[in-house]
Each structure stands twice: as C-alpha cells, then as structure tokens.
C-alpha cells in the first residue's frame, strides 16, 4: 500500500474545508436538523484530525515505546480481565484508529486469549484512512502488537 501524498493533502484540505464550512454554517441561520447534521460532521472531522495528528507523533523516530501492563477493560468497555504488555499510548491510538475505520455503528470486539477480533466494515474512505493504517502497521511493531486488517475484520494480537 502506497500513499498518494497529493491525494493525502487534498483529503486533509477537505477536512479543513469541512471545518471551515461547518463553522460558517453554524453561524448562519440553520434549522435544528441541519445543525445536527453539521455537528455530526464536525465530530467526525475532529476525531479524524486528532487521531491523524497523534499518529504523526507516534511515528516520530524519537518516540520510545514504554512497555507496561494494561488491562484491556481500561480501553474497551468489557468485563474480561485480559492484560496486554505493550505501550499504552500506542494501544490507545490503535483502538482509536480501529474505531474510526469501522463503519458500523456498534463496536463489539470479540476478546480471545491473546487477541481481539473486531468484525466490521473497514472500507477506506480517503487517503487519510489509508495513511492511518500504514502508520498503525509501522508503530504497532514498537508496541509488541500485531495488527492485521482487511475489509471485513481487524485482529489485534500480542
């Protein structure tokens, strides 16, 4: 998978365009239904930008993974008492990305002995999402994680 940097720049510009237009429209006279639609777009844009900026930070060569014991219930709403030895920052971003990429409303991970399977629809929307997957693959190695993702499911193992 190769990144088309021109397209990546376009998709990022598009995010800023959405931000700018949404803000502009909220200042204008908009009805409740329109407001809700705009706010949903803003939430998506905010999330994507936040994760993108975090992913860039993690990719920085000076980043040193701090391996520690993390209970999976701290990150996912689950009663399972599963512990992963990895960098907490990386794991947080990995899940953020998987949440974002999963186009289903519900995020129900299946927690097994040494892996978590997330069934969903991981069809990529733009170059930013492609970039996030590439980042995910790069920095997961630093956190002792293995992340396999295809159109139908994602598997995080350790």
Binding to another protein (CB under 8 A) within 15-34 occurs at 16-18, 20-22, 24-25, 28-30, 34
Binding to another protein (CB under 8 A) within 36-95 occurs at 37-38, 41, 44-45
As measured in angstroms, the least distance from the Cβ of 148 to another protein is 25
Nearer to another protein, 37 or 153 (CB): 37
SS3 for the chain is: CCCCHHHHHHHHHHHHHHHHHHHHHHHCCCCHHHHHHHHHHHHHHHHHHHHHHHHHHHHCCCCCCCEEEEEHHHCCCCCCCCEEEEEHHHHHHHHHHHHHHCCCCCCCCEECCCEEEEECCCCCCCHHHHHHHHHHHHHHCCCCCEEEECCCEEEEEC
Q: Binding residue for another protein (CB under 8 A) from 2, 3, 8, 14?
A: 14
Under the rule (CB under 8 A), what is the footprint of another protein?
A: 6-7, 10, 13-14, 16-18, 20-22, 24-25, 28-30, 34, 37-38, 41, 44-45, 125-126
């Amino acid at each position: 998978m190769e990144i088309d940097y021109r397209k990546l720049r376009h998709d990022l510009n598009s995010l800023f365009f959405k931000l700018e237009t949404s803000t502009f429209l909220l200042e204008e006279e908009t009805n409740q239904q329109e407001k809700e639609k705009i706010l949903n777009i803003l939430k998506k844009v905010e999330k994507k930008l936040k994760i993108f900026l975090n992913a860039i930070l993690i990719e920085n060569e000076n980043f040193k993974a701090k391996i520690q014991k993390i209970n999976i219930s701290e990150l996912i709403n689950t009663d399972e008492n599963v512990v992963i030895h990895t960098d907490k920052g990386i794991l947080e971003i990995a899940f953020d990305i998987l949440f974002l990429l999963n186009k289903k409303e519900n995020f129900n991970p299946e927690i097994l002995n040494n892996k978590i399977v997330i069934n969903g629809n991981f069809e990529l929307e733009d170059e930013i999402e492609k970039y996030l997957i590439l980042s995910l693959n790069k920095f997961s190695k630093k956190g002792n994680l293995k992340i396999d993702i295809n159109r139908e499911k994602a598997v995080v193992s350790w």
